[in-house]
Structure 1
Amino acid sequence: MATKQKSKDSKFKKLFVDELKDIYWAEKHLVKALPKMVKGATSPKLIKAIEKHLEETKEHVKRIEDVFEILGMKATAKKCDAMEGLLKEAESILDDTDPDTMVRDAGIIIASQKVEHYEIASYGTLAAFAKKMGMDDIAEILSQTLAEEKKTDVSLSKLAESEINEEAASE
């Protein structure tokens, strides 16, 4: 029975590590994509929000590297098809909207929130997995990032609802 349990734990841990590699790739590529969104944005508040998220994302990359270190592993990335698709969609929004408009800013918020929701799902699951495996220190690190992702999502919603969407609708 102990061997069977260990085998199940190993498969669960492998899934955890695979998903950790996935979000590591995602965060590293998001660091490259966010400056393009900053450049495409018009609203000073949106620019500030994206710049803040860029700095947080750089910290998220470091935290994932810390998690790999705690696991005794080298930090390695596995291509994240979901994030690749979300970032391509964000590029399309930038390409398909007129510069210096609130419509583009509304599109940037849409793209950003899709990314946030993916990250929230990923970090929530990873934190739950870590907790289930008794890796409380790792669960705490991942939960900290999860909380920041949720906060970013809320602030983007507030910005959209308080001004961007209204201005975009009137353009």
Structure 2
Amino acid sequence: MEDSLLGARIRQLRRARGLTLADLAEAAGLTHGFLSKLERGLANPSIPSLSAIALALGTSQVELLAGTPAPDLPVVQVQRAHEGMSGPYGLGSAQLLTSGDRRLQPMLFEGSNTDPGEFFTHAEDEFIHVTHGRVLVDLGPQGTAELEPGDSLYFAGGVPHRWAAAEPGCYRLFIVKEGTRMP
């Protein structure tokens, strides 16, 4: 991905969440100067830095790298099974099922973690459908849901969430998240 597109995506998400550069720098444990250069396309983040930025913005590395503006996106897009950005997402891995700056971000997620890790909170609504395994979804003050294959869960933006395998083994989720569109 071109550095300026990644920087623009980070800036757009930071502003959408009402954060200043100083706020994001503190939350991600990075310097204000580095983030300023990154947003202007003058620096490249390391994988750990990109992960810290994604966590501070309530998103993932995969979404940061894939959710960039693309001029003239087709009205209809076919994406083959071997296509699509993939990489770390929370405590597992994900493959985005579409590309570009879209209103919806469908993805396949796979994990085997039994520890749910840290809560994620973002402004966008999210839909989860379990395709394999049993999953325990912790929604903070909204409670906990145990989901089995065929079960689905929808939650509004702003709801803290995290998930883990309800029993040892792999689980797979089909997730649709609202995209944060570039202006």
Structure with more of its chain in helix, by fraction: 1
| Larger gyration radius, structure 1 or structure 2 | 1
Structure with more of its chain in strand, by fraction: 2
Bigger RCO (CA 8 Å, 6+ sep): 1
TM-score (norm 2): 0.25
TM-score (norm 1): 0.27
